[in-house]
Structures are given as structure tokens and as C-alpha cells.
Amino acid sequence: MNFHFKSATAASALIVAGGMAFADCGIESGSVRILSNDFEALHAVADWAEKCASDTVEVTRNQTEEHKNIQVPALSIDPATYTVAIVATNSLVPLLNDGLVRPLDDLVAKHGGQLTNSQKIIVDGKIMAIAFMANSQHLFYREDVLAEHGIEVPTTFDEVFAAADTLQAAGYATPLSSNFMPGWNIAAEFVNTYLGTGADFFKPGSAELDINNENGIAVLENMKRMLDYMSPDWATFDSNAQKPVWEAGESVLSLSWGSRAGAYIADDSPAPEVAASTAFAASPALGDNNIPTAALWWDGFAIAKNISDEDAEASFIAMMNGISPEMMAENASAAVWLIEGYEPTKAASGVIDGLGKGARPYPMLPYMGMLHTALGDNLSEYLQGKESAEQALADVTAAYTTAATEAGFLK
Amino acid sequence: MPHKTFLAFIWPSLLAMILFIALPIISVAYQSLYVEHEQILVVGESCGPFGCTQEVSVDAEAMSQLRADQPAGRFNGFGTYSNASHLATDEISEIFATSENFSEIRTRIMNLPFYKALAFTLAYTFVVTPLVIILGFIIAVVVNSVPSLLKGPVIFFSLIPMLVTPLVGSLVLFWMIDSRGIIGAGLQALFGDPTLSLKASPTLTWITLFVYGVWHSAPFAFVVFYAGLQTVPKDTMESAMVDGASRWERIRFVTIPYLMPLATFIALMQLMDNFRVFEPIIGFSAAASATSLSYLIYNDLRAAESPLFGSAAATSMLTILGVIILLLPVLRRNWREFNRKT
């Protein structure tokens, strides 16, 4: 009761603070139109950007999972439908490729005093976007089950497989789970594991693929070995399908998204005992590379090019309010914030652990999306045992080469 | 009807067909001949929250100049049609040149994305279409002999699969066949095999999709046949009865010949619909084991951050070609019947 009272006071204090920010935004006039993905942390950012609305400043938003598909056409027209595009590592790339977002150096110099250097996304020497949160996949584990069977939290895949053997012997038929659904998800798993080898996907400075080698094969063999410990329905698992399996207590070790961690341990979880004993750590390393097998992602915002300078300035200032430390104070556990003064919560511990152990970023290359698609379409036959790892990599290479040639990246 | 009157009646729909069917198809055909301009790349320092590296990026300014000069892109002729993601002409000739026996040729061709999708699309079309016609006919005959008091409710329940949105219907079934769902768990108990999963094996996934297709489309055939059954001439039927024809003989020699044109109509509609099979693949998360031509188009347009319009357009044109080839025998038959009558 006491606690509730305190948090209510704190919340109202923050609302007052927010109300003061309303007057403090300092935008004379303009229109701010936000396009973003649809999840809790981005709602908070948009809510705080909206506090800058006044009689002369209009702030609207469209938060939808379809944002990736509408952003290019919406920002191509003049004036653009949206002034702010909230993007991630991969979804900024098509905007950059088509030159639809503006360099932010002057706006950062004028209004970006609150930003740290690591928040500035610099492409070819110019600030093109501002990052405000990080995300990556990591290990989810059941503290109680591991302790019961005397298993240490695994840090390498060899330890994961040893732990899974022990768990299978103890009656857990499918102790491991991961997002192996063909398409985007399985490609992300390949990318994550491949980054753990320390190798790059492309030959330096070119769009030529460089995964058709022993690293690629090691990654595929590791993925196939995981199947021995996973549900036979692995080909239908994305992060939505994984969560109920976790809550049912069927899996003990899982590789899933950091942005989902909060929901796994939430107070209103349908399986409170499972939620209470769920904990997080960095993704396991592959072999003795000591690099967590997880790509680091950032979420941030970019400002459209085809809008007036006045709207661009208004949008930037509103977004500075959206990603202000005050916003973060109110939503500390909603994300792994990259904002100055961030104190990690339990839900963030997996991502932070991965960052500390040297996980590598998802490559922000113009042709990475095509590789991702080619991987998504061509790995499941190998995993189903219908073709060899070499054939799967050859299929990926063929699909990527065709797409990259059509898109003009390869001759 | 004089030509002038005919034209007066037809022009609004003709205009709509040109605007909304012919022109889009022409623009897709045009698009399929073009690909993106060659990208002008620059290497520069890129930084983010996780450090700085020398990275490649696109020179957007130079590219926008290129696009302004030639908005459709780079002319590629039929290059997109023949590349590895479509007809794969080079790959096929290489397969024929280097394979040792027929089964190797088949395996290697079935590994090419277009042919893999085509194989499932054709299998789906030719398994589901006849089953829909047969099952629809059986339901219609059965419902027609149900006492009139029950007819209303029975017809309503028979129509439900068709009323459900395809994506929703497939999602409902997807969760029912899950190993924790009622059908999945029931099958496991029935066969005494706790690892049985309809989602895991490619063969079972194909069968699941076929069953779904029949379940979803049979009501359509049923409705058409049921309407047709109401118009079967009573006197022919009665004279058949007087001649001592059994119930089966009446169906075989009176009803079926009478309903044949309807069966042709249903076959036409179903061939077209089934050749475009798409929703169940998404709904059942079946892409690991089954892809269709429509799924390839969807994948080109939606999976990547930057859509591959040329590739999607080429697959679309090949799909249209496929539908035309499929429908030719049925249309020819219709045309001959039409000529015989006039």
C-alpha cells in the first residue's frame, strides 16, 4: 500500500514535470508528424514528443508494425507525409539508399546538447539519425531449473548443449527454444551466430558475399545441432510462438529478443512461478571465439528531407523532448535506453551483458537486407535434413546474387 | 441485339476493366523488363552506439540524378525472367549437363525457388480442385434430401468455412493442429506417437494445406450445385423413376449430366483461385515446406527492406501465363459448346 502511494506521488510529480516541459519545448510553430513501429518504448517516446504540441505546433503520430513498408513511399513525396521516421539499424538503410532523410549536424549543434556521442548515427561523416535505445537477442534461462540440476549458466554453445543433455535426461524433452521460423527470424539467427565467428558477411568494400566458407558451415551445423533439443514444431516458432512454450515450462533455455524480456518477467505474467525464476544473460559464444552470438541493434529517429526547414527544426526539438532523461525516468524498464544517465533494470541485463562481452552490431550495409531475405528463404531445407550445408550456402549465394544484381549492387 | 445497344450497355464495365485490369497488367509487364540502376557506392566512416567502422553506403545524390533521368530503371529485357530466381535457364541447362540420372535432375530442379513454388502450386491446384467439386456435389445431394425443417441450419453450417476469412480460418486450424491443440493432441493419442507433429514434416504440411483448401472451398461448390439441383427437370426425373432407375442411376444419368456445365464453371473458378494459393501458407507458417508463386511475389515485395519490383513483376507475369495455360482446355471446351449452340 505504502509502495503504491509512493509510486503514485512519483508519477504525479513526473506528470507535473512533463507539464512544465510542455512550456519548455521552445518551438515557435511547425508540424511534427511521427511514423514509428508499435511497441511500448516507442509509445513512451511519442507520448513525450506530443507534449510539445501547442496552438501553433501540431504533433501527430502513426504507430504501426507496417512502418517499414510505408516509410519509403511516404517520405518520397514532397512534402513528405511524415517529418520523423523512427527507425532501427536495418530500416534506416532504405531511407539512406534513396536519400530521403536529411543530415542532422546543424540541428544537433543547435538543439542536441543532451545527446551523447554514441547516440549519433554517422554515415559517411554526416549525422543521419539519433539512436535512443538498444536491442539484441540473448539467453533466457530458468534459474530454478538450472540450480535444481546443478547447471551453471552456459556461456558457450558447448555448455548449452551439455546443459540440454542433462535436462533431456531429467525429463525435459525440448529444453531449448529459439526463433527458427523461416523468413526473417531464421535469417536473424544465422546472422547472430555468424557474427559470433568474428567474420564478416561481405568481402571488404564490396557487395560480394563471403559466407560460403568454413564459418558458414560451422554456423549451420551449430543451428542444426540445436534442433536436437528443440520442439519438432521449430519451423513455426517466432517470438510470439515461443513465449507460451516458455510459460508452459517446456523450455529452460531460450534465445530471444531483449525487447521481449520485460514481458517474460512482468507481474501480470500468466505463469507467475516461471516469470519469477526467469533470468537473462548474454548469448552463448560459438567455439572459443568469446563473442556473444547476437547482433546489436539500435532504435532511433531520422528526419525527412522533403519537408520545410521549419518543420524539420520543430520535429527535432519535439523528438529531443521525446527522448529526454525525464521520459526515461518514467519508463526506465521499457527498453535498454542509450540516453545519458540510464540505469539498467533486470529486463535489460541480457542486452547489457552481451554489450559488455563484445557482441557485434548488425551490419548497416545497403545490401544487408537482401542477404537477410536470401538467408530466410534458403536455410530450412538444410535444417530439415533435405540438403547439405554446402548446398544451402550455395542456394543463399545464388538467391542473394540474383537479388543484388537486380538491385544494382552487383554487376 | 444491335451492336450499338450492346456497346451502350457494355462501355462502363469495359472502361472499368481497362482502367483497373488491363492498364495495371501492362504496367506490371513493363516493370518486369526493368531493374534498378547500378548503385553508386561510397566508402566512408560510419559510427553508431556500438563503435565506428569504414562502411559502404549508397551515394544517394548521384542516384537521384540517375533516377530522374530514367525513372523506370535499367532496361534488362527478359533477363529477370531467365535469372536464378525465376525460370533459371542457365542453371537448368547446367543441371542437365552435369547430372547423372533423372532423380538427380529432379532433385536439383526442385531446389530452384521458382520450380519449388510451381511444384507446390500445381499440386495444390490439381489435388484441391477435383476434391472440392466432388465433396461439394456430395454435400449438395445430401443437403437436398434433408427434411426441409433442418435444411436452413444445415446449409448455414455447411457455409461457415467459406464465410471465415482465409487467413483467420487457417490461423484457427493452425492452432488446432498444434501439438497442444485439440486436433494435434487427438492425432497423437490416436496414433500413440507423442512426437507426431503436423507442422514438422513437409509431407504432412502439404496434406494439411490440401485439407484446408478443400475445407475452405467445398462450400462454394456446394452452393452452386445446390442451386443447380433445384432446377433439375422434375419430369425427366420422374420418367427415370418410372423406368425403374435406382437413386444412384438417377444421379449418374440425370443429375450429373444436367449439372456438368456448373462443374465446368466451378472448375474454372477453382483453378484460378487455387493457382493463386497464398493465405494458408502464411496462416500455417508453412513456408519451410511449401511455397507458392503468390508467396514468391509477396516475399519479393515485403520481405526485404527495399522491394524487388522487377522480380515480383516477372513472377506476376509468369503466374498470369500459368493461369491462362491452366484455363485453356476449359475455355476451349466452353467455346466449342457455345459454337455448337449458335
| B contact test, residue of A123, A185, A243 with most B CBs within 10 A | A123
Q: Which residues in chain A (162-221) have CB-CB distances under 8 A to chain B? A: 181-184, 205-207
Contacting residues for A163 by C-beta, under 8 A, at least 6 apart: A146, A151, A154, A175, A252, A253
Q: What share of chain B is helix, strand, coil (3-state, %, to 5)?
A: 70, 5, 25
Backbone angles phi, psi at A224, to 5 degrees: -65, -35
User: Which sign, positive or negative, has the C-alpha torsion A163, A169, A171, A172?
Assistant: positive
Q: What residues of chain A lie within 8 A of the CB of B111, using their CB?
A: 381, 387, 391, 395
Min Cα distance B197 → chain A (Å) is 7
CATH 1.10.3720.10 location in chain B: 113-341
Q: Chain B residue closest to A205 (CA)?
A: B56
Task: List pLDDT tens digits, range A274-332.
Answer: 999 999 999 999 988 899 999 999 999 999 999 999 999 999 999 999 999 999 999 98
Flag whether pLDDT at B27 surpasses 90. Answer: yes
Q: Scanning the structure block, which residue is given the C-alpha cell 516509410?
A: A71
User: Which sign, positive or negative, has the C-alpha torsion A3, A280, A375, B168?
Assistant: negative
Low-confidence ranges of chain A (pLDDT < 50): 1-23
For domain B113-341, is the CATH number 2.60.40.10?
Answer: no
Write the ipTM. Answer: 0.83
C-alpha B187/C-alpha B209 separation (Å) is: 17
Min Cα distance B342 → chain A (Å) is 51
Q: What residues of chain A lie within 8 A of the CB of B195, using their CB?
A: 232
Task: List pLDDT tens digits, range B80-126.
Answer: 999 988 999 999 999 999 988 999 999 899 999 999 999 999 999 99
Interface check for A258 against chain B (CB to CB < 8 A): the answer is no
List domains and CATH numbers for chain A.
10-134+296-352 (3.40.190.10), 136-295+362-406 (3.40.190.10)
pTM of the model: 0.85
For residues A367, A368, A371 and A376, what is the CA-based torsion angle, rounded to 10 degrees?
A: -140
Contacting residues for A67 by C-beta, under 8 A, at least 6 apart: A35, A36, A37, A38, A85, A86, A91
Mode of pairing for the β-strands spanning A84-88 and A278-281? unpaired
Task: List pLDDT tens digits, range A130-187.
Answer: 999 999 999 999 999 999 999 999 999 999 999 999 999 999 999 999 999 988 899 9
pLDDT band (50, 70, 90) for residue B288: confident
